[in-house]
Structure 1
Amino acid sequence: MMGVVSIVIAVAPAIGPTVSGVILSVADWRWIFWLVLPISILALVLGAIFLRNVTKTHFVKFDVLSTVLSAFAFGGLIFGLSSVGEAALGHAPVPVWIPIVVGTVALIAFVLRQLQLQRTDAALLDLRTFRSRPFSIAVALIAIVMASLFGSLILLPIYLQQVLGLNTLAVGLVLLPGGILMGAMAPLVGSAFDRYGPTTLVIPGVMIVAGALWGMTTFGAATPVAWIIAVHATLSIGLGLVLTPLLTSALGSLPQPLYPHGSAILRTVQQVAGAAGTALFVTVMTVTAAAQSELGAAPSTSTAAGVHNALLIGALVATLGALLACFVRKPADASLSDQESRTVLAPH
């Protein structure tokens, strides 16, 4: 099941550049949103008709303060991190430190509020999930994986257009094979997880991700497109090996009462990590390119140098993630005993 779910999580952002490239090659950029609008409406209608609750519901007190704090915390951090690249160019709508400080302060207040509310099982986001060591390790690796995925998806189109001079349609086609690979792998990886567990998939998967990012550091002003496609496809294979096992290991290691909170945390981490990865990659690229331009380098050369340094940082982070991957365990082996479950769910 998680393999099927991972098809959407992995493939959607991977094929986005391809679809956008096709649209931009024949129409104005506004058509990207006009064409997505009916799809969104259709999803809303189908969900309202066919989506049914399959779990037992019970009354939960709605904490308004937690909701407000979460909006400022995660919204502020994501907006701030996403604005770092613009700030480096002097185009940020507001000073980047303002949303980051607001988000950080709100996040601290949110965490303190949840620690108080979870004593009575009234937390909006129950942080007792992090008492499960397998869950914490999986969350950390998912953050690294999503940062690598979204960071590379942001940089590669910039590199392909500004350095190699490809048009939007060509850029989309270059990235398409990787998206197809991730989609084709997801159900197969799900079956392999059931048979072998996550360790035999995650460790080589993270190593492949790191290796692909190291391969991307070789990209320059005259890199063959075939090599770019091969390295991006390799990155997609590594991500495909990692994503499904990590999501399954994370949720499978929690007591059942914490499943909804664990799922919410995973989705939040994916969003924040994606924004952080984008901010890191774009900021390093922008700062390096600006420094090269001041030295008299051509725009394409400056951008190529910036992309190289950004991907170098990503490769180093992914390499550290390969060490962390050694501690991932199969949910059946890492599942909590009755005593451990009581410890995780204890109020204090």
Structure 2
Amino acid sequence: METTASTATPAAQAHASTSYRVVPIMIALCIAGFIGMFSETALNIALSDLMESLHITASTVQWLTTGYLLTLGVLVPVSSFLMQWFTTRQLFIFSLGISIVGGVVAALSSGFSLLLIGRILQAVGIGILLPLIFNTILVIFPPEKRGQALGTMGLVIMFAPAAGPTLAGLTIQYLSWNYIFWFTIPFLLISLLVGVRYMQNISTITKPKIDVLSILLSTIGFGGIVFGFSHAGEGDGGWTDPVVIGSFIIGALALLVFCLRQNKLRQPMLNLQVFQYPMFVVGLLMVFLCFNVIMSTMLIFPMYFQGGLAKTAMAAGLILLPGGIVNGLLAPVMGILYDKFGPRWLVIPGFLVMSIVLFMMTGFDTDTSIGLIIALHILLMIGISMVMSPAQTNGLNQLPPHLHPDGTAFMNTLQQISGAVGTAVAVSLMSGGIADYMSASSDPAAASESAHAMAFGSQHAFIFALVVGIVGFVISLFIRRVKVEGGSERPKAMH
């Protein structure tokens, strides 16, 4: 059973007839995307070092992650609106420029406040850049080549978080945490120069009316949800903290009012019509769940390696590197396979592989061999590569061209929320498992008990990831390929 698309709109035909300088544009986008995702995850492995060098507590240093995610959660939903007000070149140049400024500020900082400002500036850049990347790909590539194009971008974006811990570990061991930021700046400059020379304006500027209330509700809603999950996972009070509960309630109410308002506006900030397209909804849910597994396991693995197996930060990064490389190399391959065979033969087996591997990971302990861990991590990354790009491509393919900015905004926003949810729940379950083990231990002061407790806590986090993987597998059974007719991607909406 296939979901059928209708004939192309004049706007879509106009886009199809335009000649784009695809190769240099993709080079600029790939470099920018890699550094953006690298910046999002590389600093995680340096948090302990930062606490020592800046003389700050764990509750303070976590704001480098929370502040970053919070900025993304606030800014990404506004990206669809920005694309209708500013040209592609303007947004690309601004996002790269503000990222470079943020990187320089963070690299030069000698105190926490300046470092946090640099991180927030970086988040502003990537918050604009990520939706812009996917929307640009949807325009400059015809539907039959989008899988390969998004797969190539997936290679870059998925390899960056995997390479981040390794490169950051090496940097900290031989240099200092400042060089994590210095490393990104030359690449951002190259991307900026290539973009200035070759980036074309691919969006239609309509300059819709600025609805201040919608922007405010979006900021409070998405920001409140992201902050609530981030604070629950990293704060002292956990899920019962009044700040966490208040953030969830305020965020949920703001999002409810935001959605009701969007349905009444003639020109909504985010067009909720995207949810009338069933394959977009299915793709959105699968991307959300898949990214949840990625972010939760990426956080737990280094902690398990260092606390449960007594490995160094650099060794932890090296253990994760093979899986990251495999995932990156397979991303464009999965895109090509999607273009040829559709999503069903990829996402269903992909979630099945993920679930089986995560089930085996629930048995990790202090005696688990590094070889087995590397092998299972590679298999997990294979499963993830089979899901992410095909699910995203199929979902976005079903939307008509005028809804592409809204679709990419929702995809990227929910990925950030998914990351906050995954890390918060994983850390909470892991901490609970550690506490339970220690409370039952006959000798909690023994050094070996600390390692066993970490391994026991990690098992709890992997059980959570397993449940997410199983839910994803069930949802994947409903996916159908969007059938393109006449080069169009405008299907029948669900009524």
TM-score of the two chains, using structure 1 as the length reference: 0.90
Name the CA distance, whole Å, in 2 between partners of 1:339 and 1:27: 53
Name the CA distance, whole Å, in 1 between partners of 2:435 and 2:188: 39
Can you list the C-alpha shifts for 1:119-164, whole angstroms capped at 9, x where unaligned?
x2x1111111111111111111111100000000000000000110
Measure how far apart 1:40 and its partner are: 4.0
Q: Is the 8 A contact 1:281 1:310 kept in 2?
A: yes
Q: Match of 1:154? A: 299
Q: 1:11 aligns with which of 155, 159, 164?
A: 159
Name the CA distance, whole Å, in 2 between partners of 1:31 and 1:9: 21
Q: Are residues 337 and 95 of structure 1, via their aligned partners in 2, closer, same or farther at CA, if it must alter by over 3 Å?
A: closer
Q: Which one is further off, 11-20 or 277-286? A: 11-20
Q: Match of 1:291? A: 436
Q: Is the 8 A contact 1:147 1:273 kept in 2?
A: yes
Name the CA distance, whole Å, in 2 between partners of 1:262 and 1:238: 24
Name the CA distance, whole Å, in 2 between partners of 1:147 and 1:102: 23
1:340 is aligned with what amino acid?
Answer: K
2:462 is aligned with what amino acid?
Answer: L
Count of aligned pairs? 340
1:223 is aligned with what amino acid?
Answer: T
Q: Are residues 62 and 143 of structure 1, via their aligned partners in 2, closer, same or farther at CA, if it must alter by over 3 Å?
A: same
Q: Are residues 26 and 101 of structure 1, via their aligned partners in 2, closer, same or farther at CA, if it must alter by over 3 Å?
A: farther
Q: Match of 1:65? A: 213
Q: Match of 1:127? A: 272
1:216 is aligned with what amino acid?
Answer: M
Name the CA distance, whole Å, in 2 between partners of 1:331 and 1:222: 47
Name the CA distance, whole Å, in 2 between partners of 1:19 and 1:218: 29
1:87 and 2:227 correspond = no
Measure how far apart 1:58 and its partner are: 2.5
* SS in structure 2 of the partner of residue 96 of structure 1: helix
Name the CA distance, whole Å, in 2 between partners of 1:163 and 1:19: 22
Can you list the C-alpha shifts for 1:1-45, whole angstroms capped at 9, x where unaligned?
111121123222222111111112223334323433454455445
Q: Match of 1:274? A: 419
Q: Are residues 336 and 116 of structure 1, via their aligned partners in 2, closer, same or farther at CA, if it must alter by over 3 Å?
A: farther
Q: Which one is further off, 180-189 or 18-27? A: 18-27
Q: Is the 8 A contact 2:230 2:421 kept in 1?
A: yes
* RMSD of aligned Cα (Å): 2.5
Q: Match of 1:316? A: 467
Q: Match of 1:109? A: 257
Q: 2:288 aligns with which of 140, 143, 147?
A: 143
% of aligned pairs identical?
Answer: 33
* 1:254-269 equivalence runs, <5 A: 254-269=399-414
Q: 2:480 aligns with which of 315, 329, 334?
A: 329
Name the CA distance, whole Å, in 2 between partners of 1:108 and 1:311: 32
1:56 and 2:204 correspond = yes
Name the CA distance, whole Å, in 2 between partners of 1:310 and 1:155: 7
Q: Are residues 319 and 46 of structure 1, via their aligned partners in 2, closer, same or farther at CA, if it must alter by over 3 Å?
A: same
Measure how far apart 1:250 and its partner are: 0.6
Q: Is the 8 A contact 2:400 2:491 kept in 1?
A: no
Q: Match of 2:96? A: none
Q: Which one is further off, 252-261 or 330-339? A: 330-339
Q: Match of 2:322? A: 177
Can you list the C-alpha shifts for 1:33-76, whole angstroms capped at 9, x where unaligned?
34334544554454444322124333322222222221222222
Measure how far apart 1:337 and its partner are: 9.8
2:161 is aligned with what amino acid?
Answer: P
Unaligned runs of 5+ in 1: none
1:305 and 2:450 correspond = no
1:201 is aligned with what amino acid?
Answer: L
Can you list the C-alpha shifts for 1:216-241, whole angstroms capped at 9, x where unaligned?
11210111111110111001000111
1:253 and 2:372 correspond = no
Q: Is the 8 A contact 1:88 1:287 kept in 2?
A: no
1:328 is aligned with what amino acid?
Answer: I
Q: Are residues 77 and 37 of structure 1, via their aligned partners in 2, closer, same or farther at CA, if it must alter by over 3 Å?
A: farther
1:166 is aligned with what amino acid?
Answer: K
Name the CA distance, whole Å, in 1 between partners of 2:200 and 2:490: 31
Q: Are residues 182 and 218 of structure 1, via their aligned partners in 2, closer, same or farther at CA, if it must alter by over 3 Å?
A: same
Name the CA distance, whole Å, in 2 between partners of 1:57 and 1:32: 37
1:97 and 2:235 correspond = no
Name the CA distance, whole Å, in 2 between partners of 1:231 and 1:337: 37
Name the CA distance, whole Å, in 2 between partners of 1:35 and 1:93: 38
Q: Is the 8 A contact 1:254 1:336 kept in 2?
A: no
Q: Is the 8 A contact 2:398 2:489 kept in 1?
A: no
Name the CA distance, whole Å, in 2 between partners of 1:19 and 1:89: 33
Q: Match of 2:383? A: 238
TM-score of the two chains, using structure 2 as the length reference: 0.64
Q: Are residues 80 and 196 of structure 1, via their aligned partners in 2, closer, same or farther at CA, if it must alter by over 3 Å?
A: same
Q: Match of 1:222? A: 367
Name the CA distance, whole Å, in 2 between partners of 1:106 and 1:252: 30
Can you list the C-alpha shifts for 1:296-338, whole angstroms capped at 9, x where unaligned?
3421111111110110121122112111111111121799998
